[in-house]
Copies of this chain bind each other. A is one copy, B any other.
Amino acid sequence: MKFAKIPMATITRLCVYVRNLEELLTDSVDVISSEDLARQCDVNAAQIRKDLAYFGEFGVRGVGYHVKDLLSEIKDILGLNKIWNVAIAGIGNLGVALLNHANFIKHGYIFMAAVDKDNKKIGQKLKNGLTVESIEKLPNIVKEKNIEIGIIATPANTAQGVANQFVLSGVKGILNFAPSRIQIPESCAIQNVDFTMKMDTLAYFISSS
């Protein structure tokens, strides 16, 4: 099973497994069966086994999975057993909220730089000790601070421009919070966090029920 194409949905579920395994670890659960984990994650048990099978054999037949080991394995798969240097562009309300978000640090994402194009914001000192820098300096900052991930927290109309800057600077992935789809080369990964769209989806489900 090692060389199959891995469904996107599998990766999403791996993240869910991590979260639930972390909880089990906190609760001092040593071993769990796919059946029990499935119930907790609200998926099918065979699905869990199949998802894991893409990456190896982590269970013990007749027993189940060792929580601690499985968690570590999945974190390895996802790349969560390392520190990720992150830069954020757009230091508005949303940008500040993200900079202060505890869960990023918990999973090893460290903000190493904050940039904006607004002169009024540049030079401003942030809570976490960072100083807002000019977006023009992005190429240097990315190289100097070894930044691999860029977050876009700007309005929709400037998002593409910022993305281009990030790509040129050499980041390997972009997390985009602007409500617009961005074009970037294949060499750079992208994930969109599109809450306006989620809101509209919600509106649909309420309307049509």
Contacts and interface: CB of A to CB of B under 8 A. Distances in A.
B179 A103 contact: yes
A204 B179 CA distance: 23
Interface in A42-63: 42
Interface in A127-186: 148-149, 155-156, 172-175, 177, 179-181
A197 interface: yes
A104 B102 CA distance: 25
A189 interface: yes
A79 interface: yes
Nearest to A95: B97
Specify which of A94, A174, A191 lies most central, judged by the most chain B CB atoms within 10 Å of its CB.
Answer: A191
What is the oligomeric copy number?
Answer: 2
A77 interface: yes
Nearest to A180: B19
A92 B96 CA distance: 11
Contacts of A2: none
A15 interface: yes
A51 to B, nearest CB: 13
B202 A189 contact: yes
Interface residues of A, number: 58
Contact of A207 (B78, B177, B191, B196): B78
A163 to B, nearest CB: 14
A202 B78 CA distance: 9
Given A42-B181, A97-B97, A181-B42, A175 B195 contact: yes
A104 B202 CA distance: 13
B200 A78 contact: yes
Given A103-B196, A107-B196, A175-B195, 14 more contacts: A16-B197, A78-B201, A80-B203, A92-B97, A93-B100, A93-B101, A107-B200, A172-B206, A173-B203, A173-B206, A189-B205, A189-B206, A191-B201, A193-B195
Closest 5 CB pairs of A and B: A79-B207, A93-B97, A189-B205, A79-B203, A94-B97
